[in-house]
């Protein structure tokens, strides 16, 4: 945004409603639809509070880059979400997630954006994940319709993958699944698409679609029903900005 709109207001806010469809858990066959608020408040390129990105601070920022830290939240996984497949595996508790992130946009003429983040759950899976993404505007984008698309890859440590996809000896006895040990490495590769239609000066409609393919030991666990999954969301929001 800074590349194309250098004179942005100091305060930018967005408030609305979103509906999300996503798998019950990673590797699940069944899906769940959820509705919730869209909240995004940003002060200059310094701080932000967002349902999607959490509470964060940009430690470094410029016209084409930013890097910082944020605190988010992971809802975990409940055995009762899918007793057919999760019985005996126990719950993975909800937990705060500490994240470091960085993004870089090449230029106005080559608006390719590279983004990376590293996340550590403080409880729950108690593990480490890292996402690497690349995306750029699609042909047909304009001031009233902005479309992005690009690939992503997710890596994770052994602790995270074992909690999400592994089966311990105790869980094997309780569930009937064979013991399964996960190892660190690639967790998933995916591709995402986002389109935002601006309806006048303040209203906007946003659609996000993404697909993931589980990889490595994440794809081979006995609890996995599907290695290819998709998710999508649609939101309607009102945005405004102001300067002090």
The number of distinct structural domains making up the chain is 1
pLDDT by residue (tens digit) across 204-216? 999 999 999 999 9
pLDDT by residue (tens digit) across 32-86? 999 999 999 999 889 999 998 999 999 998 888 999 999 999 989 999 989 889 9
Q: What range does the domain containing 75 cover?
A: 11-242
The answer to whether position 3 is within a domain reads: no
The answer to whether position 38 is within a domain reads: yes
d(CA 54, CA 42): 11
pLDDT by residue (tens digit) across 90-117? 999 999 999 999 999 988 778 899 999 9
**pLDDT of 3 over the 60 cut:** no
**pLDDT of 123 over the 90 cut:** yes
Query: Where does the pLDDT of residue 179 fall: very low under 50, low under 70, confident under 90, or very high at 90 and above?
Result: very high
What pLDDT, on the 0 to 100 scale, is given for residue 244?
54
What pLDDT, on the 0 to 100 scale, is given for residue 159?
96
Question: Span 127-133, mean pLDDT?
Answer: 97
Question: Span 218-239, mean pLDDT?
Answer: 95
Element holding 161 (H helix, E strand)? helix 158-165
The answer to whether position 159 is within a domain reads: yes
**pLDDT of 19 over the 80 cut:** yes
The answer to whether position 5 is within a domain reads: no
The answer to whether position 71 is within a domain reads: yes
Query: Where does the pLDDT of residue 89 fall: very low under 50, low under 70, confident under 90, or very high at 90 and above?
Result: very high
Please list the residues that pair with 153 across neighbouring strands: 132, 189
The answer to whether position 4 is within a domain reads: no
Q: Tell me which residue of 211, 215, 217 sits closest to 190, measured CA to CA.
A: 211
The answer to whether position 199 is within a domain reads: yes
Between 62 and 7, the higher pLDDT residue = 62
In CATH, what number is assigned to the domain containing residue 234?
A: 2.40.160.40
The answer to whether position 203 is within a domain reads: yes
Q: Tell me which residue of 89, 93, 81, 101 sits closest to 30, measured CA to CA.
A: 81
What pLDDT, on the 0 to 100 scale, is given for residue 2?
60
Q: What is the mean pLDDT of the chain?
A: 93
d(CA 232, CA 19): 9
Are residues 238 and 15 in contact, defined by beta-carbon separation less than 8 angstroms? yes
């Amino acid at each position: 945004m800074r590349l194309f709109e250098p004179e942005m207001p100091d305060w930018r806010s967005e408030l609305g409603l979103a509906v999300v469809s996503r798998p019950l858990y990673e590797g699940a066959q069944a899906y769940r639809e959820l509705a919730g608020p869209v909240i995004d408040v940003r002060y200059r390129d310094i701080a932000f509070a967002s349902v999607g990105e959490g509470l964060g601070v940009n430690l470094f920022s410029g016209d084409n880059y930013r890097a910082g830290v944020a605190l988010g939240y992971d809802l975990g996984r409940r055995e009762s979400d899918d007793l057919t497949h999760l019985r005996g595996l126990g719950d993975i508790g909800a937990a705060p997630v500490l994240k470091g992130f960085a993004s870089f946009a090449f230029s106005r003429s080559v608006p390719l954006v590279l983004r990376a983040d590293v996340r550590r759950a403080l409880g729950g899976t108690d593990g480490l994940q890292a996402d690497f993404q690349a995306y750029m505007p699609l042909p047909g984008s304009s001031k009233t319709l902005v479309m992005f698309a690009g690939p992503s890859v997710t890596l994770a440590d052994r602790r995270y993958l074992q909690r999400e996809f592994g089966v311990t000896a105790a869980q094997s006895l309780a569930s009937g699944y064979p013991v399964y040990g996960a190892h660190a490495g690639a967790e998933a590769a995916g591709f995402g698409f986002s389109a935002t239609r601006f309806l006048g000066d303040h209203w906007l409609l946003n659609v996000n679609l993404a697909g993931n393919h589980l990889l490595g030991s994440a794809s081979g666990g006995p609890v996995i029903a599907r290695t290819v999954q998709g998710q999508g969301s649609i939101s309607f929001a009102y945005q405004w900005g102001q300067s002090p």
